[in-house]
Amino acid sequence: MTKLLEKALEAVRRLPPDSQDEIALAMLSLSGNEGEPEEVDPTHLASVLEGLAQAKRRHFATDAEVEAIILEGSAKLGLNRRPIDEAEIVERMIFPMINEGARILEEGIATRPGDIDVIWVSGYGWPVWRGGPMYYADRLGLAHLCDRLSYYADRSRDETLRPSPLMQRLAGEGCGFAL
Protein backbone atom coordinates (compact mmCIF):
# COMPACT_ATOMS: atom_id res chain seq x y z
CA MET A 1 0.00 0.00 0.00
CA THR A 2 1.26 3.47 -0.79
CA LYS A 3 2.18 5.92 1.96
CA LEU A 4 -0.37 8.35 0.56
CA LEU A 5 -3.17 5.79 0.88
CA GLU A 6 -2.04 4.88 4.40
CA LYS A 7 -2.26 8.56 5.40
CA ALA A 8 -5.68 8.90 3.79
CA LEU A 9 -6.96 5.87 5.69
CA GLU A 10 -5.59 7.24 8.95
CA ALA A 11 -7.42 10.52 8.31
CA VAL A 12 -10.67 8.70 7.54
CA ARG A 13 -10.42 6.58 10.68
CA ARG A 14 -10.14 9.76 12.77
CA LEU A 15 -13.39 11.18 11.35
CA PRO A 16 -16.37 10.96 13.69
CA PRO A 17 -18.87 8.39 12.32
CA ASP A 18 -21.58 11.01 11.80
CA SER A 19 -19.32 13.00 9.44
CA GLN A 20 -18.25 10.07 7.27
CA ASP A 21 -19.74 10.26 3.82
CA GLU A 22 -19.76 7.65 1.06
CA ILE A 23 -16.17 8.40 0.12
CA ALA A 24 -14.96 7.91 3.68
CA LEU A 25 -16.96 4.70 4.04
CA ALA A 26 -15.51 3.44 0.76
CA MET A 27 -12.02 4.18 2.04
CA LEU A 28 -12.73 2.24 5.22
CA SER A 29 -14.02 -0.71 3.25
CA LEU A 30 -10.79 -0.68 1.24
CA SER A 31 -8.84 -1.23 4.43
CA GLY A 32 -10.25 -4.76 4.78
CA ASN A 33 -11.04 -6.70 7.92
CA GLU A 34 -7.81 -6.64 9.88
CA GLY A 35 -6.27 -3.39 8.78
CA GLU A 36 -4.77 -5.02 5.71
CA PRO A 37 -6.00 -3.04 2.73
CA GLU A 38 -7.22 -4.67 -0.44
CA GLU A 39 -5.39 -4.01 -3.66
CA VAL A 40 -6.44 -0.68 -5.13
CA ASP A 41 -6.41 0.01 -8.85
CA PRO A 42 -3.98 2.94 -9.14
CA THR A 43 -6.20 4.58 -11.75
CA HIS A 44 -8.88 5.05 -9.08
CA LEU A 45 -6.58 6.26 -6.32
CA ALA A 46 -6.39 9.87 -7.51
CA SER A 47 -10.18 10.25 -7.67
CA VAL A 48 -10.65 8.66 -4.24
CA LEU A 49 -8.08 10.97 -2.68
CA GLU A 50 -9.57 14.00 -4.44
CA GLY A 51 -12.97 13.00 -3.05
CA LEU A 52 -11.49 12.86 0.44
CA ALA A 53 -9.96 16.31 0.00
CA GLN A 54 -13.31 17.67 -1.18
CA ALA A 55 -15.08 16.08 1.77
CA LYS A 56 -12.65 17.75 4.16
CA ARG A 57 -13.28 21.17 2.55
CA ARG A 58 -17.01 20.64 2.24
CA HIS A 59 -19.36 23.22 3.67
CA PHE A 60 -22.78 21.80 4.43
CA ALA A 61 -25.58 24.21 3.59
CA THR A 62 -28.40 24.91 5.99
CA ASP A 63 -32.02 24.35 5.00
CA ALA A 64 -32.43 28.12 4.60
CA GLU A 65 -29.42 28.29 2.27
CA VAL A 66 -30.75 25.41 0.17
CA GLU A 67 -34.18 27.07 -0.04
CA ALA A 68 -32.54 30.36 -1.14
CA ILE A 69 -30.60 28.55 -3.89
CA ILE A 70 -33.77 26.84 -5.10
CA LEU A 71 -35.70 30.12 -5.15
CA GLU A 72 -32.88 31.89 -7.00
CA GLY A 73 -32.60 29.10 -9.58
CA SER A 74 -36.37 29.02 -10.08
CA ALA A 75 -36.46 32.78 -10.63
CA LYS A 76 -33.61 32.61 -13.17
CA LEU A 77 -35.47 29.92 -15.10
CA GLY A 78 -38.79 31.76 -14.85
CA LEU A 79 -40.41 28.93 -12.92
CA ASN A 80 -43.26 29.62 -10.57
CA ARG A 81 -43.03 27.49 -7.47
CA ARG A 82 -46.23 25.86 -6.35
CA PRO A 83 -47.31 23.25 -3.84
CA ILE A 84 -47.44 19.69 -5.17
CA ASP A 85 -49.80 17.29 -3.44
CA GLU A 86 -49.24 13.59 -2.81
CA ALA A 87 -51.51 12.52 -5.67
CA GLU A 88 -49.45 14.48 -8.20
CA ILE A 89 -46.22 13.04 -6.83
CA VAL A 90 -47.59 9.52 -7.28
CA GLU A 91 -48.81 10.31 -10.80
CA ARG A 92 -45.51 11.86 -11.85
CA MET A 93 -43.58 8.86 -10.54
CA ILE A 94 -45.85 5.96 -11.52
CA PHE A 95 -47.59 7.03 -14.74
CA PRO A 96 -44.35 7.37 -16.78
CA MET A 97 -43.38 3.90 -15.54
CA ILE A 98 -46.69 2.52 -16.84
CA ASN A 99 -46.14 4.37 -20.11
CA GLU A 100 -42.73 2.73 -20.43
CA GLY A 101 -44.39 -0.63 -19.79
CA ALA A 102 -46.71 0.08 -22.73
CA ARG A 103 -43.67 0.83 -24.90
CA ILE A 104 -42.08 -2.46 -23.78
CA LEU A 105 -45.23 -4.27 -24.90
CA GLU A 106 -45.26 -2.36 -28.22
CA GLU A 107 -41.64 -3.30 -28.90
CA GLY A 108 -42.29 -6.97 -28.10
CA ILE A 109 -39.77 -7.01 -25.24
CA ALA A 110 -42.55 -8.39 -23.03
CA THR A 111 -45.37 -10.50 -24.41
CA ARG A 112 -48.08 -9.83 -21.84
CA PRO A 113 -48.83 -7.03 -19.38
CA GLY A 114 -48.78 -9.62 -16.61
CA ASP A 115 -45.13 -10.37 -17.38
CA ILE A 116 -44.29 -6.76 -16.56
CA ASP A 117 -46.39 -6.91 -13.39
CA VAL A 118 -44.64 -10.07 -12.17
CA ILE A 119 -41.22 -8.46 -12.65
CA TRP A 120 -42.25 -5.34 -10.73
CA VAL A 121 -43.97 -7.21 -7.89
CA SER A 122 -41.37 -9.96 -7.50
CA GLY A 123 -38.22 -8.11 -8.48
CA TYR A 124 -38.68 -4.46 -7.59
CA GLY A 125 -40.99 -4.51 -4.59
CA TRP A 126 -44.07 -3.05 -6.26
CA PRO A 127 -46.90 -3.22 -3.68
CA VAL A 128 -48.57 -6.60 -4.18
CA TRP A 129 -51.98 -5.17 -3.29
CA ARG A 130 -51.74 -2.94 -6.38
CA GLY A 131 -51.12 -5.97 -8.60
CA GLY A 132 -48.29 -4.50 -10.68
CA PRO A 133 -48.12 -1.31 -12.73
CA MET A 134 -50.06 -2.59 -15.74
CA TYR A 135 -52.88 -3.97 -13.58
CA TYR A 136 -52.90 -0.70 -11.64
CA ALA A 137 -53.19 1.19 -14.94
CA ASP A 138 -56.21 -0.90 -15.92
CA ARG A 139 -57.85 -0.14 -12.58
CA LEU A 140 -57.29 3.60 -13.02
CA GLY A 141 -58.33 3.59 -16.67
CA LEU A 142 -56.03 4.20 -19.61
CA ALA A 143 -57.99 7.26 -20.76
CA HIS A 144 -57.27 8.90 -17.40
CA LEU A 145 -53.57 7.98 -17.66
CA CYS A 146 -53.37 9.36 -21.20
CA ASP A 147 -54.96 12.63 -20.07
CA ARG A 148 -52.60 13.02 -17.11
CA LEU A 149 -49.48 12.04 -19.07
CA SER A 150 -50.40 14.54 -21.80
CA TYR A 151 -50.91 17.21 -19.14
CA TYR A 152 -47.46 16.55 -17.65
CA ALA A 153 -45.85 16.42 -21.11
CA ASP A 154 -47.38 19.81 -21.99
CA ARG A 155 -46.53 21.36 -18.64
CA SER A 156 -42.92 20.17 -18.59
CA ARG A 157 -42.32 20.24 -22.36
CA ASP A 158 -41.02 16.68 -21.97
CA GLU A 159 -42.18 14.68 -24.98
CA THR A 160 -41.09 11.39 -23.39
CA LEU A 161 -44.14 11.76 -21.16
CA ARG A 162 -46.53 11.60 -24.12
CA PRO A 163 -48.70 8.49 -23.91
CA SER A 164 -47.40 5.65 -26.06
CA PRO A 165 -49.31 4.81 -29.22
CA LEU A 166 -50.44 1.51 -27.67
CA MET A 167 -51.81 3.26 -24.59
CA GLN A 168 -53.59 5.86 -26.76
CA ARG A 169 -55.10 3.17 -28.98
CA LEU A 170 -56.32 1.05 -26.06
CA ALA A 171 -57.71 4.11 -24.29
CA GLY A 172 -59.54 5.14 -27.47
CA GLU A 173 -61.08 1.67 -27.70
CA GLY A 174 -62.11 1.79 -24.03
CA CYS A 175 -59.82 -1.14 -23.25
CA GLY A 176 -57.10 -1.81 -20.76
CA PHE A 177 -53.86 -3.70 -21.08
CA ALA A 178 -55.28 -6.98 -19.83
CA LEU A 179 -58.95 -6.43 -20.57
pTM of the model: 0.61
95 Cβ neighbours under 8 A, 6+ residues apart: 145, 148, 149, 152
Q: Which fold has domain 86-172?
A: N-(1-d-carboxylethyl)-l-norvaline Dehydrogenase; domain 2 (1.10.1040)
User: In the chain, what are the domain boundaries?
Assistant: 3-57, 86-172
The residues of the chain scoring below 50 in pLDDT are 1, 33-34, 37
Judge whether 4 and 49 are in contact, CB under 8 Å.
yes
Separation between Cα atoms, residue 87 and residue 151, nearest integer Å:
14
Judge residue 150's burial from the number of C-beta atoms within 10 Å of its C-beta, 0-12 exposed, 13-18 middle, 19 or more buried.
middle
| pLDDT of amino acid 160 | 93
| pLDDT of amino acid 157 | 86
